[in-house]
Amino acid sequence: MIYDTQEARQIDEWARTSGLPLEVLMERAGSHIATRIKERHRKTERILILCGTGNNGGDGYVIGRELIRDGFDVTLHAPFGENRSDTSIVHVHYAEAFGLVTEQPCGQYDVILDALYGTGFDPKRMNQVFEAQCEFVSEQKRQGARIYAVDVPSGVPTDHATEFKETAIRADVTFQLHAMKRSAFLIRTAPFYGELETIDIGLPTFGEWRVSPKGVTALFKREPYGHKGTYGTALLIGGSETMPGSIQLATRAALRTGVGKLQVATTALAKHGIIAQAPEAMVIDQTLPAIQEMIPSVSAVGIGPGLSQEAVETWVDYLLESDLPVVLDAAALVKESYPERTAPIIVTPHIGEFARMTNQSVESIQDDLFGQATDYAILHQVTVVLKSHVILIAKPDGGGFVVSGASSGLAKGGSGDTLFGILTSLLAQHPTGDIERKLAQGAEWYARASKQVERRLHPSSLLATDVIEELGRLEL
């Protein structure tokens, strides 16, 4: 699960009104984190816990108490003054009963636990005491201290990085409580998290955004008595005389993703390439009459890669009049609004294209990936597959899936065409139902295949064609 601040508050409130006091959640959070520290550090190591005035600081008191109870060498420092949260206060008093008192830090520490700010941090307010703490921690880190953040690295906003001023604790490990936070996926804030470890504090899972479902195996399923008609027919429209490569990549990716039949509407030069490299596909002329003739016999259509057609918007309008799932990519991302229809519309922009579609800067999209993708999906009632260092699949009714962990080698031409081919192929096979889940599984398949290629090729050398060939070799 991936939560924003509002959802985190809602779930706390749900737990409280359902009978579980916040003090108990704090106890679970703190004692589980203390266990992880005990597992990896010795009692002779010097541990500093930095506690803020809210519930994140309260977690710090529980951790300190559990460590001191077991004979660890703990200093607890509260640079912003006494804790002011009602929930924490019971834990502050109980920790004091074990001899845990606040002290000034002194000398070099082996371990620092950052419990200054959590999800309650307000990035609009900055204070010099906090800035001094960030400098102190980074100096300790330079001298060899290992830095653990509780829930969120202090100073990192939870939901978006729009107001983030880059003054924050840079953790080696973040113990995220219950679920991930959106900012753990954003380019400017993710590096502050370090490694992510989730701490189960006994809450149920609900929320709008999820990490990609791991059911990739379901996509490989073949029926023993199936025939090519069982697995749908996809129509890909793309390629031009100057850009014949992208549609060839999309074609090969679609074929390797299990579609029963594949039709490709492309220009003369790209046709030659497809006939040579992907003889399993059928090619048709890239003209509107040829496409119109094909539409009744396909189950999904994708348009855009390498396309250079003045009439592209008319073609897109025509496709959107059909009752087929339609994937719009690259040159076909031309619509400012979309018609009401039952079958899904999937737009697959990279960040630059999405910035153009939403009239915003690339930076403002990067800083608020979740919010921007969700707003567009809800406003236009389309599914957004937003391609960045992670892939977001935003649903028209809110929420969605995030796919991460792909190879850095995918940051190259041809990757988007490959994903486009995979997704259109999957839609042709599964045109109805929970399509976002299928799309997320497809994107997960693609990400994992790219990572698997890294075993034999350096990311700099990895090509889209390598990923396509790897799709069928995925170790599950």
Ligand X SMILES: NC(=O)C1=CN([C@@H]2O[C@H](COP(=O)(O)OP(=O)(O)OC[C@H]3O[C@@H](n4cnc5c(N)ncnc54)[C@H](OP(=O)(O)O)[C@@H]3O)[C@@H](O)[C@H]2O)[C@@H](O)CC1
Contacting positions for ligand X (CB under 6 A): 8, 11-12, 22, 25-26, 29, 52-59, 84-85, 117-122, 125-127, 150-152, 177-178, 201
Integer Cα distance of 316 and 310 in angstroms: 12
Comparison of 25 and 331: residue with beta carbon closer to ligand X:
25
**Burial of 135 per CB tally in 10 Å (0-12, 13-18, 19+):** exposed
DSSP string of 3-69, one letter each residue:
E-HHHHHHHHHHHHHTT--HHHHHHHHHHHHHHHHHHHS-TTSEEEEEE-SSHHHHHHHHHHHHHHH
Integer Cα distance of 407 and 387 in angstroms: 13
H helix and E strand count, the chain? 17, 18
Comparison of 181 and 438: residue with beta carbon closer to K ion:
181
Comparison of 12 and 470: residue with beta carbon closer to ligand X:
12
Comparison of 154 and 248: residue with beta carbon closer to K ion:
154
Structure tokens at 210: 């999820």
Candidate ranges 151-159, 256-264, 319-327, 360-368; the one touching K ion (CB under 5 A): 151-159
Chain residues 75-114 in contact with K ion, contact rule CB under 5 A:
114
Using CB distances below 5 to 8 A depending on partner kind, what does residue 114 bind out of ligand X, K ion, none? Answer: K ion
Interface residue with K ion, options 34, 149, 250, 439 (CB under 5 A): 149
**150 with 60: CB under 8 angstroms?**
yes
**Using CB atoms, what's the residue nearest to K ion?**
154
| 398 annotated as a binding-site residue | no
Closest distance to ligand X from the beta carbon of 392 (Å): 23
Integer Cα distance of 78 and 54 in angstroms: 11
Chain residues 251-280 in contact with K ion, contact rule CB under 5 A:
none
Closest distance to ligand X from the beta carbon of 73 (Å): 24
Look at the alpha carbons of 141, 144, 150, 152 in this order and tell me if their dihedral is positive or negative. Answer: positive
Structure tokens at 353: 């294209």
Closest distance to K ion from the beta carbon of 142 (Å): 20
Interface residue with K ion, options 133, 154, 257, 286 (CB under 5 A): 154
Closest distance to ligand X from the beta carbon of 108 (Å): 26
| 458 annotated as a binding-site residue | no
**402 with 212: CB under 8 angstroms?**
yes
Using CB distances below 5 to 8 A depending on partner kind, what does residue 149 bind out of K ion, ligand X, none? Answer: K ion
Please enumerate, by residue number, every residue annotated as part of a binding site for AMP: 416
> Which segments are annotated as binding site?
55-59, 114, 151, 154, 306, 350, 416-417
